Structure formats: C-alpha cells, structure tokens
Amino acid sequence: MSADHDAEQDAEREASAPPPPRRSAAGGVFAAIKETVLVVAVALVVSLVVKTFLLQAFFIPSQSMEETLDIGDRVIVSKLTPGPFDLHRGDVVVFSDPGNWLSQTAPPERGPVGTVVAEALTFIGLLPEDSDDHLIKRVIGLPGDHVVCCDASGQITVNDEPVDETSYLAQGAAPSLDPFDVTVPEGQLWVMGDNRDESADSRYNRESQPYHGFVPVDLVVGRAYAVVWPVSHWDWLGTPSAFDQVSGAPGAS
C-alpha cells in the first residue's frame, strides 16, 4: 500500500507541476539565424586562411599551356611550393608578372555591386583569382641550370642533358623555334609554356626589365597540382619524368 500511495503522490505532483516554458517562435528564428551566421563566418575564415597559406584557385585565360591546360580551366595551386616543399624542373607554376609580360586587358563588365561581390569572394578564396597580373608556365630551368635550344635532335638541353618533352608539349609543337643559350641566375627560374608556338614565356621576354626573361622564385605563388573544373578536365598535374636524368641542383626553395 505504501508503494502505491507514493506512486499516486508522485503522479499528483507531476500533474500539478507547471509546464516548462515554451520558446517563442521569434526566439527560435533568432537562434537559427545566429547559428547560421556563425557557421558562415567560420567557413569564410577557414576559406581565407586556406587561400592565404595553403591553396588557391586560378583561372586559365589563354592557350599558352595547351594541351595540358585549356582556356577556362580552373586549377588548384599549392602555396607550400616553394616553401616547405621544393620546386622541381617540370613543375607547372603560377607567378606574378615579373615585368610587362602581360598586356593590359579590359576588366570584365560588372555593375558596382557585382564588382564588390566578385572582389570579396575572390579575396576569401571562393572565386578563382583573375589572371590580370599572374601567369602559368612550366619550370624548365632552376637556379644555376644551363638551358640551351636546341641540340642536333631538336631537343632542349638542361646541363647538357637532352630533355624529351613529348609527354606534355602540345601536339605538333616543337620544343622551340627560337634558339637560346642561358644560364639561370641564382634565385630565378626559366619557364616555358607547353604550347610553345603560342606562349610568350622566358624566351620572348629576354629584353624585359628587370629580369630579362627569368622569373624570381619570390614571385612564384605556388605549384599547380590539379585541374578541378570543368569536371570533364579533372586531372592531376604531377612532375613529369622528362627531367629525371638532368644533373645539378635537385630543386629550388
């Protein structure tokens, strides 16, 4: 009887207890908005940190790297190279214009709001960087390398070793129709496009000041390692084996 009596008392207390306070509809909406804003803010901060220190997307505006990269491709660039990881011959790199390599291009037509939004999204890394002041080429010579075009077989040589570039040159493109004989200065690179007939690269900027066609390593944003858009062009941009036999410094940091 005692147990039954206690159970009845507990039931009566529960029945007489006031109901828990209800969250108002307005309070629920405010909480949801606050949570959404927090999630978006964290995502934007993470995106900005990734773009600043790790990865950045770039848009391919020209045919100079065909058929490795087509106009309109988006590539992901690792900012850890150069830096924690060394540059190697054959790497595809994005770099800032070393001095008048690029002609002035008309900015895309956007309204004031569109311009602000596009610049903000690019700044935080949600849109690919425009190419008004960046180029993308392949590293052919590292600091100290002796790069010559061409030997009796029509191949470029690096430190007297011929380089078989057929794995990445555009179909039908010669290694170079413009002869050259250069030694890469300390802290600089010799770069060329894969579509040699359509690439205004180190060969064609030897009169440019102040670097005479060479690219300071300090101007390299990073190494392009993957094509991520469009989906049909997904590809991994590894370092080719064409330079494996070349002696000399293994990389540039």
**Pairing, β 134-141 against β 188-192:** antiparallel
Distance CA 198, CA 184 (A): 23
pLDDT, residue 49, reads: 44
Question: Contact at 8 Å (CB) between 189 and 136?
Answer: no
pLDDT, residue 170, reads: 96
Residue ranges of the domains in the chain? 32-103+113-241
pLDDT, residue 235, reads: 94
Domain 32-103+113-241 class, CATH top level:
mainly beta
3-class secondary structure, 162 = strand
Question: Contact at 8 Å (CB) between 206 and 173?
Answer: no
Question: And the tokens for 78?
Answer: 């690792």
pLDDT, residue 248, reads: 73
Q: Which residue stretches of the chain have pLDDT < 70?
A: 1-32, 34-54, 104-132, 249-253
Question: How many C-alpha atoms does 51 have within 13 Å on its Cβ side?
Answer: 18
pLDDT, residue 6, reads: 56
Q: Is the entire prediction scored with pTM above 0.85?
A: no
Catalytic residues: 64, 137
For the chain, state the CA radius of gyration.
Answer: 29
pLDDT, residue 117, reads: 45
Alpha helices in the chain (DSSP H): 2-16, 25-53, 112-124
Distance CA 207, CA 227 (A): 32
Give the DSSP per-residue string, 180-227: EEEEPPTTEEEEE-SSGGG---GGGGTTSTTTTT-EEGGGEEEEEEEE
pLDDT, residue 247, reads: 87
pLDDT, residue 209, reads: 86
pLDDT, residue 246, reads: 95
